[in-house]
A and B are shown apart, each in its own frame.
Chain A
Amino acid sequence: MSEQQSDQQTIQIEILRYRPETDHEPVWQSYTVPFDPATSVLEGLTYIKDHLDGSVSFRWSCRMAVCGSCGMQINGEPKLACQTFLREFHPGKVRIEALANFAIERDLVVVMDDFLEKLTAIKPYVIRDQDKPLEEGEYLQTPAEQVPYMQYSQCINCMLCYSACPQYALNQEFTGPAALALAHRYNMDSRDQGVDQRMEILNMEEGVWGCTAVGACSEVCPKGVHPAAAIQQSKILGTLDYTKMNALRKFILPKGAR
């Protein structure tokens, strides 16, 4: 977006700055940015970086809400900057802060280590006792068999759900919405047989039982993954696992790939 748009409306963007080498604590800094109805908050940030203050740091890439890099608090709500538009706030101002419930590494960049550890801890891959040879082709899986897990496979790892979840805020040990939804994605995939291994992580105080069904995660999810539902269903699986009701559990779990 070049700067010579003449009849340009402008808007006030306030960013919570934090440079660990010089700042002791975060400080608000304000900028004025031109925009039109199609200008996203992200384009506002890149305009600031290109033309006003090159030191503003933030993560971004795809600009089409599929890479999950640009999650941040916009006027207090966790949002994807590329899918939120300056037009929504005009004539008011836009206050941008790093994602809540995460430590600020710098400006709008948060520390993601805890999230990555949780995402990889739940064994997010197909676990099978025996994998049939590739020559025999793909596993058969009807569209009906895809319904139980497809919604939970849409997660772009943008962490908005973690920044909205009060239980994660209160207890950083909690595995959290996205990781639990991803675990459920694999548990409900007819090709997977790893539910028992994943239950060792899910059926813990910090696993599904850290959730009190607040539901904020599903509200803020930009991809309609509905982690709250995944967790409730995992609680039932966890209960059946705990009480050894295997017959009923088999009824809920997919029948296995052919």
Chain B
Amino acid sequence: MEVISADVAIIGAGGAGLRSAIAVAEADPGLKVALISKVYPMRSHTVAAEGGSAGVVQDHDSLDNHFDDTVSGGDWLCDQDTVDYFVSHCTREMTQLEHWGCPWSRKPDGHVNVRAFGGMKIERTWFAADKTGFHMLHTLFQTSIKFPSIQRFDEYFALDLITDEGRVQGVVAMEIRTGAVKLFLAKSVIIATGGAGRVYQYNTNGAIVTGDGMSLAYRHGAPLRDMEFVQYHPTALPRIGVLITEGCRGEGGILVNKDGYRYLQDYGLGPPDPWPRKKAMELGPRDRLSQAFWQEEQKGRTVETPLGQAVLLDLRHLGEKKLHERLPMICELAESYMGVDPVHEPIPVRPTVHYTMGGIRTGVTTATDIPGLYAVGECSSCGIHGANRLGSNSLAELVVFGKQAGSHAAEYVKSARAVNEGTASKQAGDVLRRVKAIAEREKGERLANIRNAMAETMEAGCGIYRTGEGMQETCDTLAALKERYKGVAVGDKSRVFNTELLYAVELGYMLEVAEAMATSAVNRRESRGSHQRIDGYEKRDDQDFLKHSLAYYNPSGAPRIDYEAVNITRSQPADRVYGGEGDKIKETANV
């Protein structure tokens, strides 16, 4: 087996992977960085992010405001020390991106412009029209070309981590275009593989968002934290799942049911006017808006479309100039997928799985429980998102903690012991045998059946509103699917660019991540953020459940669930209030 040695190996070349690669290169140009990604960097799912990236920049705004919006948005499950670090470094990283050429949208005077996002008191979302993720990713990819110490391994699929005496020693990956399995020796590994939205049937995520890195770390003992919190984005195209950015609502777009009524006012987010207005109505947090849709659907007040139930996102009053200038991609998407021109017609939308709050447990330094292993971006749970991510915090997270991961990995490598190639090669041999078993199995179940069954049970049991019974059923179904997965067979026996084999391996990752989500969910007997129950646990229980859930891998069954305290420094849990209520309390407490 070919061996490639590097100082730092990074899995995933999206916003987080690229930023950490650059950070290692800047920390020490002498360190060899192997940037491994199963797709070319510009295809990473960061490219699909539309809305924006948060960073306090206006004089009347403050780090505390950003801190409060994040912590209250996360229903107080955020680690406040990490949030403090995060909010105080966002603006610097956004400015770094600007210096690297990122085309942030501007005010007439040339300063960076910002707009409002759901759950945000004062607007602080930097944006590049409605393609912020795209421009950030391309800026980072193009800037990474400047650093010779970063060697890219495009279209290499990560099969497993190599660990020795509890320390990470490298990665085993397959070169997709030849099928060759190679051993990457590295003193430090950074996982930046993104979220796991694809475990759900309807999601806004790309095909590659299958939780690979989460599963790799999980299998090697790193706990997956807060996995039960999966964010539904309130406005995505029905069935297709393509995202319609929150920026539409930031610009003044409204949501109406089939009677043309702005239904959000019935769910504690009103009064509807004046509009647009921060932290109210359509600019409430994502979990509230998604929950409101579910209620409207129960009451039969949603619109029937060929692609399923939806509500209407009305942008007509914004006018053609503003729509084509500020939301060009949205007009394109609505036109080509739904045959709807937003200038003249409202866009049918519905909540769709969008973001995985949970992930590999890390902290401010992005270090995981395994020495030498770091995790950054959506695959990690660094502690800032809590039970419900504030819109535009995740793009900022990529660069703020990407820099952390790179710098700390570079630091770690200096003192790390040399890699033991012997044990590494042996482990790599085991990995090869595992993949060989799947590839060479003659008869077995078609993986699409298992995948669809997983996606359907997750949607049914771990959706917007959950019941203990429903979640338990999902856990049982997933356990059965894991059994069936042992017999999955792949028809394609070739080696060159065999994507069917990769889909089979991905399915293995997804089943484990889905099980961690469902098991963590059924054990959380309260409602918090995006985890809402309607079986007697409707209330938030700060007594027993103001704590992070931890899912530990169990090779022979469901994960062991444990809990750990939430780091609370200065913001005590209070009611999450938005809309009129929020304003009232703000006046009284003259915060």
Contact = CB atoms under 8 A, between A and B. Distances in A.
A and B touch in the complex (CB under 8 A): yes
Interface of A: 1-2, 19-22, 36-38, 49-51, 53-55, 57-69, 83, 85, 105-107, 109, 112, 116, 120, 123-126, 131-132, 134, 137-143, 145-146, 149-150, 153-154, 156-157, 182, 186, 189, 191-192, 258
Interface stretch (B40-48, B349-357, B375-383): B40-48
Given A138-B98, A140-B109, A125 B143 contact: yes
A235 B569 CA distance: 60
Interface residues of B, number: 65
A76 B44 CA distance: 28
Contact of B48 (A53, A66, A146, A154): A66
A57 B501 CA distance: 11
B446 interface: yes
B337 A38 contact: yes
B481 to A, nearest CB: 16
B131 interface: yes
Given A67-B42, A123-B145, A149-B103, 19 more contacts: A37-B306, A55-B500, A57-B497, A63-B207, A63-B241, A64-B333, A66-B48, A106-B496, A106-B497, A125-B146, A126-B99, A134-B99, A138-B99, A138-B112, A142-B110, A143-B108, A153-B103, A154-B131, A157-B40
B420 interface: no
A131 B101 CA distance: 12
Contacts of B134: 66, 156
Given A64-B48, A105-B177, A125-B145, A21 B496 contact: yes
A36 B307 CA distance: 10
A156 B40 CA distance: 12
Contact of B240 (A63, A145, A182): A63
Interface stretch (B24-32, B470-478, B487-495, B549-557): B487-495
Given A68-B43, A137-B95, A157-B42, A126 B100 contact: yes
A134 B103 CA distance: 16
Interface of B: 39-40, 42-45, 47-48, 92, 95-96, 98-101, 103-106, 108-112, 131, 134-135, 138, 142-143, 145-146, 154, 177, 206-208, 239-243, 306-307, 329, 332-333, 336-339, 446-448, 452, 490-492, 494-500
B336 A141 contact: no
7 contacts: A2-B452, A38-B337, A50-B448, A63-B242, A64-B48, A106-B496, A138-B104
A63 B203 CA distance: 11
A189 B154 CA distance: 29
A192 B98 CA distance: 12
Contacts of B95: 134, 137-138
B41 to A, nearest CB: 10
Contacts of B106: 141-143, 146
